[in-house]
Amino acid sequence: MPHTTTMATMLELTDVDTYYGASHILQGLSLKVGAGEAVALLGRNGAGKTTTMRSVLGLTPPKRGSILMDGTEIARAKTHRIARQGVAFVASGRRVFGGLTVAQNLELAARTLGKRAAADGRTLEDVLTVFPKLRELADRRAGFLSGGEQQMLKLARALLGNPRLLLLDEPTEGLSPAVVSDLGRWLDRLREQGLSILLTEQNALFALAHVDRGYVMLKGRITHEASAEELRSSEEVRAALGVG
Amino acid sequence: MNTFVTETVSILTNAAMLFVVAAGLTLVFGALRLINMAHGSLFMVGALTVASLASGLTGGWGFAVALIAAVGLCAALGAGIEISILRRLHDREPLAQLLATFALVLVAADLAQRVWGTSDRTVATPVAGRFSVGGAVVPEYDLIVIGIAAAVALGLWLLLARTATGWRVRAAVEDPETLSVGGTNLALLRTSVFALGAGLAGLAGAAIAPLESVGPGLDTQIIVAAFIVTVVGGLGSVVGAALGAVVIATVEGLGTLWVPSYASSAGYLVMILVLAVRPWGLFGTPDR
Ligand SMILES: Nc1ncnc2c1ncn2[C@@H]1O[C@H](COP(=O)(O)OP(=O)(O)OP(=O)(O)O)[C@@H](O)[C@H]1O
Ligand SMILES: [Mg+2]
């Protein structure tokens, strides 16, 4: 993958300040994701990784700063408008619609954002080819799926919107090693297809194996930025993340 | 045989009306977790709209036009109320919403008296025909009312179970953030559901106008009845509203026949009984 300086920018946060009530969480945070680039956002518990994604999505809008999505300012936009700009989010935890069936979860995604897609967009059929297990589970209530199956459903649902940028929050959380390696393969395939990806992980070694570049954050600020390779070998970073 | 048919049709007509009112109330609760005290006020506005249009719009088709106007007015009022008041309270505690809708009841009652006066009105039956069934004579209009309720039941079922909008309504209760992240305009969805609930209140009020005298007090009278039906059926469940309506109409109908002096409390008794045995109602879910 080429370095950021030569590629177009998909997402750019500049001096973002985000609060939960009175607590100042993101403190002048800046970061970039290039078009077609996969980037990891690493940091210990409570560093502000999820808050960064929630800021991009307008779920916890920033008080100050700019967020450009492919050149368009989205820092103060409504969440559904940001989604329509091509930003998809796979949240951590069991965020499927448990009362709906797997098929209804997927249909809903396809009918909401799928129709936005160009003629060459991903269809329900394409997604079911990538995740054949979901076809078997189609009539099951999503609330009854295992953690790995829910992760698959959340990813499939996000892809059905034909996003240009995919935000993944702790995708390996609670998955068995076999499912984690499946996930790694899917991520690599999405990168080959040119999707821009921003990924947070407790499992830094997993993340750094599937991205081009990474940021390390601490208390709402970026403390390091480097290629995945450099981050993997940096003692300082390993210490900051508490790995190795 | 005669009285059996007459009683059955009259009970079904009552059940039909109760269902349409309760369906709107329960739909709004199911989708927005909001108890709309002003639902009865919208019902009254629907009835009064038909009452004031009835002199100009006569006959079956005239009544149909008045009915559509009443539904449209109530749906528009509902949308306005949701956008201007309830939307701001959506993330607040339920008590704030309850109080706001109660304030609307008072405002609506006062406004309605200014616009429509304090005297009761009657609306002529738009279709005067009668059917002869099993030796009994049944008013055609009763069958129309039952038909309206059946159409509402079928329409709501199709909407909620079969369309993406219906899935969105269910998803919005479960996880609104995830729904909006998926591209759904939550504010528009909530306004639409509230307007639909308000339109159903207006429809019920409009349809009942030729059967009862229309005037002040109709709002509180109907909201109490609608609450009994929804509590018995289970708050949030449209199927429950249908069953609750049939149960309450039957109990009240039979009560009037057998123990006339206690008939008016029969509905409350059923409600208390259901609450004691199954506090979440016949079709509700225990968690809320
Ligand atoms: N809803 C909330 N209200 C108040 N404070 C919050 C809320 N959510 C998160 N915080 C605080 O914001 C800070 C950043 O939280 P965030 O969830 O973004 O961290 P994170 O890097 O994603 O952590 P983790 O690895 O645990 O997921 C933490 O100190 C947390 O306590
Ligand atoms: Mg987090």
pLDDT of residue A140: 96
Domain locations along chain B: 2-216
Query: pTM for the whole thing?
Result: 0.90
ipTM of the complex: 0.92
Could you tell me the CA-to-CA distances from B242 to B14, B117, B153 in Å, in that order?
12, 34, 8
Whole-number Å distance, alpha carbon B49 to ligand 1 midpoint, is 53
Tell me which of A26, A51, A167 to substitute to probe ligand 1's pocket, judged by most ligand atoms within 8 Å of the beta carbon.
A51
* A1 falls within a domain: no
Structure tokens at B218: 């109709």
Which pLDDT belongs to residue B266? Answer: 86
Structural domain boundaries, residue A68: 9-241
The distance between the two most distant Cα atoms of chain B, rounded to a whole number of Å, is: 61
Give pLDDT tens digits for B31-83.
998 999 999 999 999 999 999 998 788 788 899 999 999 999 999 999 999 99
A141 touches B: beta carbon within 8 Å: no
Grade residue A108 by pLDDT with cuts at 50, 70 and 90: very high
Interface membership of A94 toward B (CB under 8 Å) = no
CATH number, position A143: 3.40.50.300
- Chain A nearest-CA residue for B160: A100
Cβ atoms < 10 Å from Cβ of A132:
8
Q: Over the stretch B105-127, which tens digit does the pLDDT of each residue have? A: 999 999 999 999 888 988 888 88
How far, in Å, is the centroid of ligand 1 from the Cα of A47? 7
The answer to whether the CB atoms of B177 and A161 lie below 8 A apart is: no
pLDDT given for residue B288 in this prediction: 45
Q: Distance between CA A52 and CA B11 in Å, rounded?
A: 59
Whether A191 is covered by a domain: the verdict is yes
Instruction: Looking at the complex, report in whole angstroms how far the Cα of residue A75 sits from the nearest Cα belonging to chain B.
Output: 15
| Distance between Cα A50 and ligand 2 center (Å) | 4
Query: Which two structure tokens, joined as six digits, stand for A204?
Result: 């830094």
d(CA A202, ligand 2 centre) in Å: 9
Chain segment A116-162, per-residue pLDDT in tens = 555 567 788 888 888 999 999 999 999 999 999 999 999 999 999 99
A208-229 pLDDT tens trace: 999 999 999 999 999 999 999 9
A9-20 vs A87-90, strand pairing mode? unpaired
Hey, of B91, B181, B186, B188, which one would you mutate to test binding to chain A, going by the most A CBs within 10 A of its CB?
B181
Identity at A130, one-letter amino acid code: V
Average pLDDT (B231-242) is 92
Contact between B182 and A98 using a beta-carbon 8 Å cutoff: no
Identify the closest residue of chain A to B186 by CA–CA distance. Answer: A80
Contact status of A185 with chain B (Cβ, < 8 Å) = no
In a domain, A2, yes or no: no
Ligand 1 pocket, CB under 6 A: A 20, 23, 25, 43, 45-51
How long a stretch of residues is chain B?
288
Q: Count of domains in chain A?
A: 1
